[in-house]
Amino acid sequence: MSINTIEPAERIKGISEYYFSVKLAEVAKMNAQGMDVISLGVGAPDRMPSEETIDTLCETARQSDVHAYQPYTGIIELRKAYADWYKRIYNVDLTTNEVLPLIGSKEGILHISMTFLNKGDSVLVPNPGYPTYSSVSNLVEANIISYDLLESDGWQPDFDALEKMDLSNVKLMWVNYPNMPTGANATIELFEKLVSFGKKHNIVICHDNPYSFILNDNPLSILSIEGAKDICIELNSLSKSHNMSGWRMGMLASNPEFVKWILKAKSNIDSGQFKPMQLATIVALNNSDEWHNNMNKVYAERRVWAEKIMDAMECKYDPSQVGLFVWGKLPDSSPNSKEFIDSILQEAKVFITPGAIFGSNGNRYVRISLGSSVEKIKVAYERIKKYFEQK
């Protein structure tokens, strides 16, 4: 049989390789050729987890009884630590059977979609929004219904517009605050509207919440709204907030029945997490306020220089946005965001993210990550400033 007669599944034909997978390979190739590209694209923290977290990982990894398969639900101590964390940070009461540890919240998007979406079911996906919401929906052969997030609405859903849509086949709605990519923050009023909307239309509201610790004075959970557990699932992660992106330590919380259903999917896909990582995560969840405050001081300094880059590019941005990025609107005279960032990559040797990858409503925007040192962001600023001065 010739390999040319073999075709991938239709679900694979319908999606593209993840944008950053492709673009970072291009950046790596440029660096291999000696071009010294500075990447301000991916939201990956460059700092270490807390010292206590690292010490716990190293110490427990030397124990002889921690290297076997672990429970699919995570160890009970970890689930309790997540529950205690939610009470302390968000004032949300969770029992251990309302918490499910995940190998990263990105993976949880797949578990949830497999659990609630049949082929042909509809799912509400924000535009702009995290591309994985759409790609995973395509993988499970769901029907994507895009809903607009607009700067004029503070990047919040227009519920009047949602009510005019055909929602008869919608089973799931993805929301994400503090929002990525726009940096818009949530409010209690928004969460109340989302819970009410979900209950009215029998739609599972899935809130993705990994950014609430970064440059944000008021962390919120949708589960703090009365009755939210009946219809909502919240994803959370230590990737951004605790500098543990490579650890893949995430979790979800909801009512026990939803958790039990999702566990059916999860337990057939992965085999649990390394116990020393779970034990170290418990320590990380108890990081001091001082540790988090120090991290935010670092991000605040970086943000100053990221905003200088936005100014150099004549982009407009909201100084009140929160999270790990700065989101800015291109001047009217600029090309679309992909052409814009490609010119900066080739001429200034700086990679920033085009808003177009997050949906059509992001086409006139760009995003800068705060995941690089001040020194690197300063150099990127000087390169971009020089590029625009010479144009």
In single-letter form, the type of residue at position 141 comes to E
Q: In the chain, pLDDT over 70 holds for what percent of residues?
A: 99
Torsions phi, psi for 231 (to 5 deg): -135, -5
**Predicted pLDDT at 2:** 57
Instruction: Report which of 184, 16, 174, 13 is spatially closest to residue 106, judged by C-alpha positions.
Output: 174
Q: What is the mean pLDDT of residues 345-358?
A: 95
What is the DSSP secondary structure assignment for residue 37, as one 8-state letter?
P
Which of 255, 284, 313 is a domain's end point?
A: 284
- Whether residue 259 is predicted with pLDDT greater than 90 in this model: the reply is yes
The reply to whether 59 and 154 lie within a common domain is yes
pLDDT at residue 8, rounded to an integer: 87
Distance, CA of 146 to CA of 139 (rounded, Å): 16
pLDDT of 149 reads 98
Q: How far apart are CA 211 and CA 324, in angstroms?
A: 7
End-to-end CA distance of the chain: 55
Q: Supply the CATH number for residue 39's domain.
A: 3.90.1150.10
The structural domain count of the chain equals: 2
**pTM greater than 0.85 (yes/no):** yes
Residues 144, 240, single domain; the answer is: yes
Residue 376 vs residues 54, 349, 352: alpha-carbon distances, Å: 26, 12, 13
Same domain, 342 and 251: no
Domain that holds residue 212: 51-284
In CATH, what number is assigned to the domain containing residue 232?
3.40.640.10
Task: Identify whether residues 105 and 162 lie together within a single domain.
Answer: yes
Among residues 240, 265, 284, which one ends one of the domains? 284
Residues constituting the chain: 391
Residue 142 is given by DSSP the state P
Catalogue the E-assigned strands of the chain: 38-39, 99-102, 122-127, 143-148, 170-176, 204-208, 232-237, 250-253, 316-317, 325-329, 350-351, 353-354, 365-369
- The residue out of 284, 304, 331 marking a domain boundary is 284
Mean pLDDT rounded to a whole number for the chain: 95
Domain match, 62 and 189 both: yes
